[in-house]
Structure 1
Amino acid sequence: MLNDRAQRLLKTLVERYIADGQPVGSRTLSMHSGLDLSSASIRNVLADLENMGLVISPHTSAGRVPTARGYRVFVDNLLTMQPLEQAARQQLESELHPDSPQRIVSAASQLLAELTHFAGVVATPERASVAFRQIEFLRLSEKRVLLIFVTADGDVQNHLLLTERDYTASELIEAANFLNHHGAGRSLEAVARELEGELRNLQSHIASLMGAAIVAGQNTLGPRQSVMVTGEKNLLNSDDLSANLINLRQLFDLFERKTELLRLLNLSREAHGVHIFIGEESGLNTLDGCSVITAPYQINGQVVGTLGVVGPTRMAYERVIPIVDITARLVSSALSYPVEH
């Protein structure tokens, strides 16, 4: 609980630090806060804020800088949002028009990076499970079987199975015939649900082979989601991030792997509007010096993905938040279409 004076000083301190990137001292706060306080009074308030863990004093300076917790208080309670510049809004509206979903997602990621000068990230809509037309098993060598899926649209996917025993050609044909008979034209999720009990009770030694094929097929043809990342190199221009090359390399590795980033983005799918992870709130050590600002986007009222930006904790939140919010709304509009009744 901060009184009005402490709130005003914290707000001024965060704003000055975001603008200048330098620790903020009592003289600067006296000039910009609009409070008629002596330097001693300001220093007392700063000491209180430091005891609360909202600001910290770097060893080389008498000034203070906000902590992740200080940014959180600022964003939640003290932030004065700025309307998005007309030129930026027009750029978003002109480039996020109804088109193919892939092009809309790509354009959104690019625009977020261009307008914020950070990394733009978009979790794509989850791909539905793909139905298969045919399954084949091909013996490569002892305990090595090539599993071949032919999808309903003619795409061919191969998967190597390492089996616990060797299978004859006739056994492989028998297993393929069983799965093709029960599941051709359907997704492997549906086949797995229907055959779960039957395969468990089936005493045949090919049951384990068919079970392994279903699991492999679910991974290959099942629901899939990815993350598009654009503008990672923008972060090289951030003094706060580029000062630690080891951390910056780890951040780029996070963008490359994408799995942890996708999990973080999906955490905010159910959020109403913009969601902000500041520093350690993300749960990822790699992002301790970063803020991730996200917003879900929809197709005809149903949330299908999340977009946002990754940048340093010292960012102009009052400008970045509206960019993310408006981009999510425009993407939702571009992806949606009139539902026929």
Structure 2
Amino acid sequence: MLNQRAKILLKTLVERYISEGQPVGSRSLSKFSGLDLSPATIRNVMADLEEMGFVASPHTSAGRVPTHRGYRFFIDTLLVVKPLDVIEIHQLEDQLYPDHPSRLINSASQLLSELTRFAGVVVTPKRSSAVFRYIEFMALSEKRILLIIVTPEGDVQNRVLFTDRPYNQTELIEAGNFINQNYAGCTFDEIRVRLQSELKQLRHDMTNLMTAAIELGNEALQSNSEAVVVAGERKLLDVHDLASNMTSLKKLFDLFERKTVLLQLLEFSRKAEGVQIFIGDESGVLTLDEFSVVTAPYEVDGKVVGTVGVVGPTRMAYERIIPIVDATARLLSSALSHH
């Protein structure tokens, strides 16, 4: 689509804009491109690039800035990724050593933020099975029962069961004891299969209570099995491009708080190989129109289980951010696999 001259000028423009944050004019392009071109020739090429949607002209300046399309072409075609320096590699290796999985996840998000000065995000591994240590039933009212589920890690989940008839405390204790004695340490999927034959020894209405508890308990643990850990959101307040637009930042912080939409985006990137870059509206998330997201999947024992990433302004040093995200994903994979 572009000849070599246009590619060099576009690459120079994007690099200067990322570095300086100011619209780039013909003089800068002539100085830094290494091309022996007249100002008139450069202006003509810039006009062509603008017509094709790669650059835009702010009203207040004679210079130009890259558009989302310009960034995309730059990343896909012109970008030269810089290897991480030794200090950054050691910092990652020192922090991401086999340890408690939850600390590894938190360390990864914090490291991404510290090294990039943007927000670091990590999707925690999805539990392959929902296992409980014990459960307990507690009557709330005539037909409302609180289901308390405790996982082997000590996490507690509470859910409310709505029943067809009232149960007294003796019946609830009996149901809890039966499940704990026979099924503790099993997944809810395993229990569901066994229930069909083993609960025939109990009264029909007790079977209904336990079946409802198993379904709700499985849903509770699975819904809590995947989360997004975000670190360094406040660093975005120090980014000049973003600090001037508090409305946009507020929407982003709301997104970090809700996490559901962010999780969907990161889930999508988990299915792809290697580093993925979403520029502005490419993410499909309206809130991220003025931001870029750089992600990479990580593995445990060869199976992809989550995603690491960075959320920052579209004007970010992609050649540096990409290897940081890639290295973090690889080292996190190694640490979790050796845990």
CA drift at 1:177: 7.6
Whether the aligned pair in 2 keeps the contact of 1:130 and 1:152 (CA below 8 Å) is: no
Contact 1:292 1:308 in 2 (8 A): yes
- The answer for the alignment partner of 2:52 in structure 1 is 52
CA distance in 2, matches of 1:298, 1:33: 41
Change (3 A) 1:97 1:260: same
User: Given the superposition, is the C-alpha separation of residues 150 and 117 from structure 1 closer, same or farther in structure 2, using an over 3 Å criterion?
Assistant: closer
Query: Per the alignment, do residues 62 and 307 of structure 1 end up closer, same or farther by CA in structure 2, a change over 3 Å counting?
Result: same
Return the alpha-carbon distance in structure 1 between the equivalents of residues 295 and 41 of structure 2.
Answer: 38
Change (3 A) 1:154 1:239: closer
Please report how far the alpha carbon of residue 132 of structure 1 lies from its aligned counterpart in structure 2 after TM superposition: 3.5
Corresponding position of 1:105:
105
The amino acid across from 1:326 in the alignment is A
Pairwise CA distance, 1:152? 5.8
**Residue 25 of structure 1, CA deviation:** 1.6
Query: Any idea what SS the aligned residue of 1:268 has?
Result: helix
Kindly indicate whether residue 126 of structure 2 is the aligned counterpart of residue 126 of structure 1: yes
Looking at structure 2, the residues matched to 131 and 96 of structure 1 have their Cα atoms a distance apart, in angstroms, of 27
Unaligned runs of 5+ in 2: none
Q: Sequence identity, in percent?
A: 61
Where 1:263 maps in the other structure, the secondary structure is helix
Q: CA deviation at 1:299?
A: 2.0
C-alpha distance in 1 between matches for 2:131 and 2:300: 23
- Give the Cα–Cα distance (whole angstroms) in 1 for the partners of residues 93 and 107 of structure 2: 11
Q: Which one-letter code corresponds to 2:241 in the other structure? A: D
Tell me which residue corresponds to 1:232.
Answer: 233
State the distance in 2 between where 1:244 and 1:134 align.
49
Q: Which amino acid aligns with 1:292?
A: V
Q: What is the match of residue 320 of structure 1?
A: 321
- Per the normalisation by structure 1, the TM-score is 0.87
Task: Answer yes or no: is the 8 Å Cα contact 1:182–1:191 preserved in 2.
Answer: no
SS at match of 2:270: coil
Gaps of 5+ in 1: none
User: How far apart, in 2, do the equivalents of 1:300 and 1:141 lie?
Assistant: 47
Distance 1:168 1:81, change over 3 A: closer
In 2, are the aligned partners of 1:295 and 1:328 still within 8 Å (CA)? yes
In the alignment, does 2:273 pair up with 1:272?
yes
Q: Using the alignment, how far apart are the partners of 1:91 and 1:133 within structure 2?
A: 37
Using the alignment, how far apart are the partners of 2:316 and 2:134 within structure 1? 53
Deviation at 1:91, TM superposition (A): 1.6
Letter in 2 for 1:256: E
1:307 aligns with 2:312: no
**Alpha carbons of structure 1 residues 184 and 102: separation in structure 2 relative to 1, 3 Å:** closer
The residue that corresponds to 1:15 in the other structure is: 15
1:196 and 1:283, CA in 2 relative to 1: closer, same or farther beyond 3 A?
farther
After superposition, give the CA deviation of every residue in 1:161-209 in whole Å (9 maximum; x if it has no partner): 244x44243875786688668755422233345658999xxx9566765
Is contact 1:24-1:63 (8 Å) kept?
Answer: yes
Cα pair distance change 1:193/1:115, threshold 3 Å: same
CA change 1:150–1:95 in 2 (3 A) is closer
Equivalent residue, structure 1, for 2:166? 167
Take 1:117 and 1:151, find their aligned partners in 2: how far apart are those partners? 36
Look up the equivalent residue of 1:167 and give its one-letter code: P
- Using the TM superposition, name which of 99-108 and 147-156 deviates more: 147-156
Distance in 2, Cα, partners of 1:197 & 1:28: 78
Residue-pair matches, total: 335
Q: Assess, with a 3 A threshold, how the Cα gap between structure 1 residues 156 and 10 changes in structure 2: closer, same or farther.
A: closer
Cα RMSD between the aligned structures? 2.9
